[in-house]
Amino acid sequence: MENVFQSRNRAKPIVYHLRDVVRDRASEGVTFRLRVPSLQITQGEKIALIGESGCGKSTLLDMLAFIAQPSDIAAFRFRPDIDIDAIDIAHMWKKRQMNRLGDLRKRHIGYVMQTGGLLPYLTVRDNMSLSRGVLGLGDDGTVETLARELGIARHLDKLPETLSVGERQRVAIGRALAHQPSIVIADEPTASVDPFAAEKIMSLFIELAEQRNITVVVASHAWRHIKRLGLRRLAHHTHRSKDGRTTETVVNG
Ligand SMILES: Nc1ncnc2c1ncn2[C@@H]1O[C@H](COP(=O)(O)OP(=O)(O)O)[C@@H](O)[C@H]1O
Ligand SMILES: [Mg+2]
């Protein structure tokens, strides 16, 4: 528990503390292993995980969002707020406390999916309000403000299908921010947008997160435009066995 006491006295608490966290996946005789010997993310940090398709980006992000269960954990602590002690995520998985993990996710984390994940039958406004609705938060103007900042205010009462792909990704970012989470996880949020729009959307996203002191973890296959935004890049190495049947990615940071 040394780290908990240390972090209490520091200006910036450690939001994620992982040690020897592993997730194995296997299908059709091919096995993939993601291994995280050590990872620490402090409050307000902006982190990028860059790598080719299949290297394990979504696997790591889904573990950080408590969606994917690690196969093995030495330590996994989460401290979303300076006012609370670090939460033992390893213990929650061990005890199969899915509801508590789900509650932590809903309260503290915003998630942006690669293709938005918007509900087609809800307006932009209602899509953006979803994360708030789940928490029982009323309309306090946050959604309208975010929509203005994201340049999509004129679309609030439209359905997602009437928007461009880039606009839809802005809505998805708005939804991930609307319940004022302390962490936003974004899985290749601009992969389906042209490079020019992607750069604009990514810099807007990082700017909004910066203003709100939100911790950001973003996966991408393109480093160039993310580097300019000052994100810290996580180191990772992928090894494939000669017969191609096992792949292991090791992430440290
Ligand atoms: N549903 C699945 N079942 C079994 N293995 C999977 C599944 N999805 C992904 N994998 C394996 O996990 C590896 C990492 O996947 P993923 O984390 O989605 O990578 P990325 O997001 O970097 O493209 C893949 O190369 C694949 O071997
Ligand atoms: Mg992925």
Q: pLDDT digits over 6-61, tens only?
A: 545 556 899 999 999 999 999 888 899 999 999 999 999 999 999 999 999 999 99
Domain range for 53 is 2-252
User: Residue 4's pLDDT band (boundaries 50, 70, 90)?
Assistant: low
Q: Residue 222 has what pLDDT?
A: 81
Tens-digit pLDDT profile for residues 197-243: 999 999 999 999 999 999 999 999 888 878 889 999 998 999 998 98
What is the atom index within ligand 1 of the atom nearest the CA of 52? 22
Determine if ligand 1 sits within 6 Å of the CB of residue 249.
Answer: no
Is residue 246 a contact partner of residue 31, using CB atoms and an 8 Å limit?
Answer: yes
Is residue 170 a contact partner of residue 188, using CB atoms and an 8 Å limit?
Answer: no
Determine if ligand 1 sits within 6 Å of the CB of residue 57.
Answer: yes
Query: How many structural domains does the chain have?
Result: 1
**Probe residue for ligand 1, chosen from 21, 35, 50, 58 as the CB with the greatest number of ligand atoms within 8 Å:** 58
Element (H, E) at 141: none
pTM value?
0.92
Ligand minimally distant from the alpha carbon of residue 64: 1
The residues placing their C-beta within 5 Å of ligand 2, an ion, are: 57-58
Ligand minimally distant from the alpha carbon of residue 33: 1
62 CA distance to ligand 2 middle (Å): 10
Q: Residue 10 has what pLDDT?
A: 54
For the CA atoms of 79, 80, 82, 86, the dihedral, rounded to the nearest 10 degrees, stands at -20
10 CA distance to ligand 2 middle (Å): 34
Q: Residue 49 has what pLDDT?
A: 96
225 CA distance to ligand 1 middle (Å): 25
What is the atom index within ligand 1 of the atom nearest the CA of 60? 17
Q: Tell the residue nearest (CA) to atom 6 of ligand 1.
A: 25
- Return mean pLDDT, the chain: 93
User: Residue 1's pLDDT band (boundaries 50, 70, 90)?
Assistant: low
Q: Which residue has the higher pLDDT, 192 or 146?
A: 146
Q: What is the mean pLDDT of residues 65-94?
A: 96
Output the domain CATH number for residue 55: 3.40.50.300
Lay out the sheet containing 109-112: strands in order across.
109-112, 183-187, 215-220, 46-50, 232-233
Is residue 42 a contact partner of residue 213, using CB atoms and an 8 Å limit?
Answer: no
How many helices (H) and strands (E) the chain has is answered by 9, 11
Q: Residue 158 has what pLDDT?
A: 98
Q: Residue 29 has what pLDDT?
A: 86
Q: Residue 225 has what pLDDT?
A: 79
127 CA distance to ligand 1 middle (Å): 28
Percent of the chain surpassing pLDDT 90: 81
Element (H, E) at 253: none
Percent of the chain surpassing pLDDT 70: 96
Residues 6+ away with beta carbon under 8 Å from 6:
none
Largest CA distance in the chain: 57
Give Cα 29 to chain centroid, integer Å. 30
User: Residue 3's pLDDT band (boundaries 50, 70, 90)?
Assistant: low
Tens-digit pLDDT profile for residues 152-176: 999 999 999 999 999 999 999 999 9
